A and B are shown apart, each in its own frame.
Chain A
């Protein structure tokens, strides 16, 4: 029996979730878009610097092939090459379609999206809307999805959270839908569907004080991990080189600051030491994030590190970086046009997450993942400008394949029995969550070693709750990877090792 009437379930209304919903609508497939908050609150609105696409409008003969090579190289060749090829080839078309949707990109004199330099890429390839690229893209995509909400193609459930996955049989092989909690009333609702797309963002809740949204608790991934979904590469955590402490959290100073000419220096007594430019004459301040973060981490042991933008023309500050200038005035009482800002690395992005194939399906049949919760495109280290791209492209691919899968599925959503293991779910206590965050923060730093990871693992093993099990997976993956690759640096194993050139895959 074919399932033409079945609705796809999408959990999360950030960029990946919206992109998946749009793809379903374009394929005339109905979907239910579930999220704990409106799209305006999603972490995607916080993205600042831009979105990568080899538009080749700067006379530098750029190409998707070079974008592919830069992405693979920055990720230390762990990402799936075919998946990355698909993403980098689709990128120019994605940016053009965003422009057609009304995204207010900064434009060049020909009316094309202007491009800026970004870390790990020699050519100008990052399209941007001042330093609020995420917000501007999210507004356009939210408008676009609203059109389908009004026509009934997309059913929107706000203030509802993912509770658990349901299955066709008790052995948890094939997805049958979700249990969803109404956050306002506490009521649990059951939705049947052969295809579920998880787009719940990164595992920021394992640490608490990242640059990410407080809504990204990591609990959906922890629940799916409990139920048998595989987690890949959790040890690869991106520390953004330039963050500041603000309000009990990390605040990001976008890479755009350096892309537009900002310089890093350390204050060596009375002398400014431009350590990045000295050590890396070619890319200088725009080395990939893993390397820049590590250099700052090391230099900082002896000298405070600053980001200097005081030499940039007013025109660039006004037209390209005004958001960063405003944020620093509001939160630091510091005017970047007059003073350098003290910076340090802070957790920004999770390269790893739910393990998915090129069709974005996880090892649970019918369960798809997209966006930061899915570890597919970024390998051991993500290029700046590839997260917005990965979320849009990944959402699109997941949507396409979820539609195809649903059409071919023999699971009849109206009648089949479904099974859930809600009673087996174990929510972490506030005290244990706090200890988990503190422990992971200590042992999963920019530079790691066996002693600290082992000590951290022992503490985490003593904690109850599914989130602690996800943290345990992360910690043990970092312990097992006895090499240094991309964002994972082990001071006791400082070299890259051929036998570790493979993805970590963990199953509870």
Chain B
């Protein structure tokens, strides 16, 4: 199938202008993912846009190609997804717009600097002190919590999250759950609860926009409810 691929290549996504986009034509299997499409465009000896102009290769992040690493998160037709798990047959019309996640500083093209996610996990003391307490009844939830790819899709759709702000978004309850559940009463449990309230609970507007966006299929709202119960309401 033939697809028109519109790629954002500007410096400031929130002040975007029409001239920040380049349009390419891609012909390939409808089973191809956006990651495969980008890889093939970049593999051409010369990348040429629809006006016949030679363009620089498209900068984007990728690693695993099979939905296990979160590197290739981007806005695909306005919705944050992983490029490796959105396929051309899912398109309603043969046009696709690729843009960087808008909440993070642009490094180049579709690559953004997601350091804030990793810094904030350090801030909220996301680690275990002492041995993990493993309750069989919470196994599936802890497993789901550990599946987080830290791709940033849930932060992109969140109306309350911004880089540099105090509110750190759904990444916090999703990941905090396993630690709160495994951490014995001693250790830094109290500190974690306090930072949880400040960096997550007090800032969440409960819009639940993060509920259905997770590309790893993590039950985000379940983990939010469980983290809130453990950290704020002292249950679990």
Contact = CB atoms under 8 A, between A and B. Distances in A.
A404 interface: no
A108 B136 CA distance: 11
Given A104-B139, A149-B122, A249 B65 contact: yes
B115 A214 contact: no
B224 to A, nearest CB: 18
A144 B146 CA distance: 13
A146 interface: yes
Interface in A110-162: 111, 129-130, 132, 135-136, 139-140, 143-144, 146-147, 149-150, 156, 158-159
B67 A45 contact: no
A147 B127 contact: yes
A234 B131 CA distance: 40
Given A102-B178, A159-B115, A247-B32, A46 B69 contact: yes
Contact of B66 (A129, A149, A327, A434): A327
Given A40-B150, A247-B33, A184 B113 contact: yes
Interface string B41-80: 0010100000000000000011111111111000000000
Given A102-B182, A104-B139, A159 B67 contact: no
A129 B134 CA distance: 14
A434 B127 contact: no
A135 B66 contact: no
Contacts of A46: 64, 66, 68-69
Contacts of A103: 146
Interface string B175-219: 000110010000000000000000000000000000000000100
B134 A140 contact: no
Contacts of B149: 40
A101 B128 contact: yes
Q: Is the interface of B mostly helix, strand, loop or mixed?
A: loop
B63 A434 contact: no
A248 interface: yes
B233 interface: no
Contacts of B64: 41, 43, 45-46, 213-214
A100 B131 contact: yes
A265 B9 CA distance: 49
A247 B115 contact: no
B132 interface: yes
Nearest to B108: A184
A159 B113 contact: yes
A330 B85 contact: yes
A41 B71 contact: yes
B45 A158 contact: no
A103 B150 CA distance: 18
Interface in B1-51: 31-33, 35-36, 39-40, 43, 45
Contact of A37 (B32, B71, B128, B132): B71
A500 interface: no
Contacts of B147: 132, 135-136, 139
B160 interface: no
A247 B132 contact: no
Contacts of B163: none
A143 B179 contact: yes
A418 interface: no
A146 B35 contact: no
Interface in B109-126: 113-115, 118, 121-122, 125-126
Interface string B152-178: 000000000000000000000000001
Contacts of A189: none
B39 A104 contact: no
Given A129-B143, A214-B65, A100 B132 contact: yes
A38 interface: yes
B66 to A, nearest CB: 6
Interface in A74-130: 99-104, 107, 111, 129-130
A129 B146 CA distance: 11
A143 B69 contact: no
Interface in A138-193: 139-140, 143-144, 146-147, 149-150, 156, 158-159, 184
B85 A45 contact: no
A249 B147 CA distance: 23
A504 to B, nearest CB: 30
Contact of B118 (A38, A136, A214): A38
Contact of B134 (A99, A150, A326): A99
A158 B217 CA distance: 26
Contacts of A40: 69-70, 149-150
A431 B45 contact: yes
Interface in B74-123: 84-85, 107, 113-115, 118, 121-122
A330 B33 CA distance: 10
B40 A150 contact: no
B226 interface: no
A385 B194 CA distance: 40
B236 to A, nearest CB: 16
Interface in A39-54: 40-43, 45-46
A248 B63 CA distance: 13
Nearest to A251: B66
A323 to B, nearest CB: 9
B61 A135 contact: no
Nearest to B183: A102
A213 B63 contact: yes
Output the residue of A37, A40, A431 with the most chain B CB within 10 A: A40
Q: Give 3 nearest A-B pairs by CB, closest first.
A: A102-B132, A147-B127, A139-B146
15 contacts: A37-B63, A38-B118, A100-B131, A107-B136, A130-B143, A136-B143, A139-B147, A143-B127, A147-B129, A156-B118, A214-B65, A247-B84, A248-B39, A327-B67, A330-B85
Given A102-B182, A213-B63, A248-B36, 11 more contacts: A37-B63, A42-B69, A104-B139, A135-B68, A143-B179, A146-B126, A149-B122, A150-B127, A246-B65, A248-B39, A249-B66
Interface of A: 37-38, 40-43, 45-46, 99-104, 107, 111, 129-130, 132, 135-136, 139-140, 143-144, 146-147, 149-150, 156, 158-159, 184, 213-215, 246-249, 251, 326-327, 330-331, 333, 431, 434
